[in-house]
Structure 1
Amino acid sequence: MAGNSVAIDDYLKTIYHHTEWQNDPITPSQLAGELSLAPSTVTEMVQKLAAQGLVSHRPYGPVSLTDAGRLRAASIIRRHRLIETWLVREFGYAWDEVHDEAEVLEHTISDRLLAGIDARLGHPRFDPHGDAIPDADGAVDRAPFVLLAAAHIGHSGRVLRVSDRDPALLRALEGHGIDVGHTLVVAGRDAVRVDGGATVELPAGAADAVWLTV
């Protein structure tokens, strides 16, 4: 039963993540790709989630979270991001090292320990990658944003979020001084000025992994 609960959480998290920084709903094929599962397996689970009132879905259409599904997804994401923040602040982990640890711990720590971590950290609103930490009601506070790849040349914005999908890219960006809170000016298709300094060439994939204030 616990294993099934973890699987449900993974589905709900993936659906939640998909629309967190863009508006297009996820399709079953995209969900299968994100989870590295066979489409037939995903179709079966989506039907089960719909029966439980956690997602809405029609045949061949996209998958969306219901209010109940979004609240459950936000709860597990809150755990994950608080743990990531805790590992960085209290244990000296680098921002490229925390994702896999949090994936394990989010399913094992108690609500009491999570509340203690939250209080210890001063109730943070964002994790080390700039992702918003949902509150206990699932609400998030996020500034208007633009993907770096979509920002026009000359745009100046503070780094709101860096995707944690690729640890090597995180390390490369950090080497260029690109981190949450720093200011970038778009100088070209794959070039930026960091905090008013010299222009730097972006690593491959960086423009699709960094979000700026508008």
Structure 2
Amino acid sequence: MPSPAVDDYLKTIYHHTEWQDERITPSQLAAELGLAPSSVTEMVQKLAAQGLVTHRPYGPVSLSEEGEHRAAAIIRRHRLIETWLVREFGYSWDEVHDEAEVLEHSISDRLLEGIDERLGRPRFDPHGDAIPDAAGHVHREPFILLGQAPAGHVGRVLRVSDRDPDLLRAVEASGVAVGTTVTVMDAAGLRIGETPVTLPAAAADAVWLSA
């Protein structure tokens, strides 16, 4: 049966490896969810018993095929709702996450399909995260984290992490948006055309560019 708690675990595991390859550990999962490690250990064991994750004691946690399919479905809901709120209701990209957290567990599949159709089947949400299709498939192009991009690298902004609303507002105020082509000067300095742009230091670990 659907469970918001289970969905939150699966989403967090899924999201952890979207933009890097290291699998999530139970301690990282506990930190991400703001829960006690003992509680996370117990839930991971339950998820493994249900066939949703694979895990060995003290090792990282991975989604099984069934777990990935379920995680992609709830991620799809969340990101379509975020896109809907921005396009149809005028929300800014730093305001939509918490609203989507609530709505993703309550709207029907019929309404979700209607939202997807109305929006023109978008492939990316306002932050640049891929929206899985109904089969759970996503499209991503090769990417590089801003903090790892060499000086002189030219790329389009593919994604800005939605973890920190203050950072999202600062990035937006700087004129940087998903789809903007930039030239990297250093870990927090960019150029848009001939215009220099300075981002907060935290952007180095929160902005992804096309590789």
TM-score (norm 2): 0.98
Measure the CA separation in 1 of the matches of 2:119 and 2:195: 35
Q: 2:198 aligns with which of 196, 201, 205?
A: 201
Which secondary structure state, in structure 2, belongs to the residue aligned with residue 206 of structure 1? Answer: helix
Render the CA deviation track for 1:117-169: whole Å, top value 9, x for unaligned.
Answer: 00000000000000000011111001110000000000000000000000110
The share of aligned pairs that are identical, in percent, is 74
Measure the CA separation in 2 of the matches of 1:157 and 1:13: 28
Measure the CA separation in 2 of the matches of 1:16 and 1:197: 38
Measure the CA separation in 2 of the matches of 1:209 and 1:39: 26
Task: Give the match for residue 96 of structure 2.
Answer: 98
Task: Give the match for residue 51 of structure 1.
Answer: 49
Does structure 1 retain, via aligned residues, the 8 Å contact 2:146–2:208? yes
**Residue pairs, 1:100-139, within 5 angstroms:** 100-139=98-137
Moved over 6 A (4+): none
**Residue pairs, 1:30-41, within 5 angstroms:** 30-41=28-39
Shift of 1:90: 0.4
Which ranges in structure 2 are unaligned for 5 or more consecutive residues? none
- Decide which moves more: 198-207 or 9-18: 198-207
Which ranges in structure 1 are unaligned for 5 or more consecutive residues? none
Task: Give the match for residue 191 of structure 1.
Answer: 189
Shift of 1:197: 2.8
Measure the CA separation in 1 of the matches of 2:187 and 2:144: 15
Measure the CA separation in 2 of the matches of 1:204 and 1:92: 28
Task: Give the match for residue 78 of structure 1.
Answer: 76
Measure the CA separation in 1 of the matches of 2:125 and 2:198: 26
TM-score (norm 1): 0.97
Does structure 1 retain, via aligned residues, the 8 Å contact 2:187–2:201? no
User: In structure 1, what residue type is equivalent to 2:196?
Assistant: T
How many residues align? The count is 211
Measure the CA separation in 1 of the matches of 2:40 and 2:161: 24
Render the CA deviation track for 1:101-120: whole Å, top value 9, x for unaligned.
Answer: 00000000000000000000
Measure the CA separation in 2 of the matches of 1:130 and 1:16: 16
Shift of 1:204: 2.5
Aligned-CA RMSD value: 0.9
User: In structure 2, what residue type is equivalent to 1:16?
Assistant: Y
User: In structure 2, what residue type is equivalent to 1:212?
Assistant: L
Shift of 1:189: 2.9
Render the CA deviation track for 1:157-188: whole Å, top value 9, x for unaligned.
Answer: 00000000001100100011111000111112
